[in-house]
Amino acid sequence: MEKITLTLPASRTLNGKALAGVVGSGDMEVLFTADQGQTLAIEITTSVDNSRGRWDALFNRLQTVSSLPAGKLTIHDFGATPGVARIRIEQVFEGVSHA
């Protein structure tokens, strides 16, 4: 297991919490808790060693196509592909946006 911590600048604020995926199901789990700060703190637990480059690339892409919200993002990836990871991350951001 590898733990990765990232901190990115946030460009919007939201309120609330959202969960996508189910821990232990073989699917990726993402929990987002919004706050009124200036950064998005990301904690990733992955079963794929040496995957920091993959996560850096994913969040760089997310920053270019949408604005990241302030808060804490906790990810348990269970070896999910980048496509599944992006979907789950976007699901929690959208869930909080519509709460």
Query: Which tens digits make up the pLDDT trace of 36-49?
Result: 999 999 999 988 88
What local confidence, expressed as pLDDT, does residue 27 receive?
Answer: 74
pTM, two decimal places:
0.91
Q: Which of 6-10, 12-16, 20-24, 43-47 has the lowest mean pLDDT?
A: 20-24
| Residue type at 80 in one-letter notation | A
Q: How many angstroms from the chain centroid is the CA of residue 57?
A: 13
What local confidence, expressed as pLDDT, does residue 23 receive?
Answer: 67
What local confidence, expressed as pLDDT, does residue 84 receive?
Answer: 87
Distance in angstroms (rounded) separating the CA atoms of residues 1 and 72: 20
Taking all residues of the chain, what is their mean pLDDT, rounded to a whole number? 90
Q: What are the domain boundaries of the chain? A: 2-97
Going by DSSP bridges, is the β-strand pair 17-20/2-9 parallel, antiparallel, or unpaired? unpaired
